[in-house]
Amino acid sequence: MRMSQCLPLSFATLAALALPATAQSQVTISGYLDTGVFRDYDKTRKLGTIQRSHLAVAGTEDLGGGLKANFRLSTRFELDTGQSEGAGSKPFWHDESTVGLQGGWGQLRLGRALSAMWSQEWKFDAFSNFNRIASTAWHMAHYYTPTDRASNNGAAEYGRMTNGIYYDSPTWDGFSFNASASTERTQTPGRDGRGGSVALNYDQGPVAAMVGYERNGSGDKDLFLGGLYRLGAATLMMAYDHSRAGSSPDTSRMVSVGGSYALGVTTLRASYGRQRLNDGVTHHMASLGAEYNLSKRTMLYASLGHQRYEHNPSRTAFGVGVAHAF
């Protein structure tokens, strides 16, 4: 919605008179609400978030000459309790807090957001690295390489970079480029440094692919490769992730395959992942899911995941949920 519609007329009029004639601004509020009933891998029964819930405020201002200013503030929360996600450990604007400029040359943002690699890799997981029950990427990818080992009050953060600079290129013949880097050193005793991340992407016609590389401030490194092929109502995808710890010889190699198939308002999903650690331990995970769209914004879904980890008993999680986007 336009924020100006919520303002008193006199204030909106004065604000419009104070701006240059060429400037046009718009503020929107959006979000995603998700909750479900599920049995987790630890065999406990829960009501709560299976995917993620967030509330975002974003805005753009046309500065003229093809240049725009933009910002985005997004917080994540647990719908069942109303608490912020990771309350007490994660920042309130955990999801994103950025401001920047964009033009024909691309987009430049400053603040906290997904790193370049993480902003793209979810496309190559059948469950978008978004489902705690069924996503193989959630459980197996980037195993030894958090984006920042200390940004959540001393705890690891997988995905988001604080004190960051982010660049997103335009698309040329299907190719695009993303880069991000932290301006401050990670405060990890004996392992402090600055993190950086890059992703090269291709998406044109039925084919999409990416190669991403990330090194956090603690010296952990991650190489990610992904590809997908669209064939009518079906999408097939695969991914490879090689995660290496900076302070030990620990490594993890994950390979996953997956796909989705649309049948009218129903979408079926499936995935399989295999992870091999440097000591020879091998893990397996298989998942199934179904989504039923009640409308363009609301869906019901069911998820099933089964893990067979070496030296551990097999375990299964399953649940049903409802999600609404606005």
Per-residue pLDDT of the chain (326 residues; tens, 9 = 90+): 333 334 333 434 334 434 444 457 899 999 999 999 999 999 999 999 999 999 999 999 999 999 999 999 999 999 999 999 988 889 999 999 999 999 999 999 999 999 999 999 999 999 999 999 999 999 999 999 999 998 888 889 999 999 999 999 999 999 999 999 999 887 666 677 899 999 999 999 999 999 999 999 999 999 999 999 999 999 999 999 999 999 899 999 999 999 999 999 999 999 999 999 998 899 999 999 999 999 999 999 999 999 999 988 899 999 999 999 99
Q: What was the pLDDT predicted at 190? A: 64
As a whole number of angstroms, the distance between CA 65 and CA 136 comes to 45
R_g of the chain computed on alpha carbons: 21
As a whole number of angstroms, the distance between CA 316 and CA 215 comes to 33
- Which residues, listed in sequence order, are joined to residue 288 by a DSSP beta bridge? 270, 304
Supply the CATH classification number for the domain 26-325: 2.40.160.10
Which amino acid would we find at residue 203?
Answer: D
Q: Spell 5-36 as b/e; 16+ CB within 10 A means b.
A: eeeeeeeeeeeeeeeeeeeebeeeeebbbbbb
Per-domain boundaries in the chain: 26-325
Global pTM value = 0.90
Nearest CA-CA partner of 61 in 19, 96, 93: 19
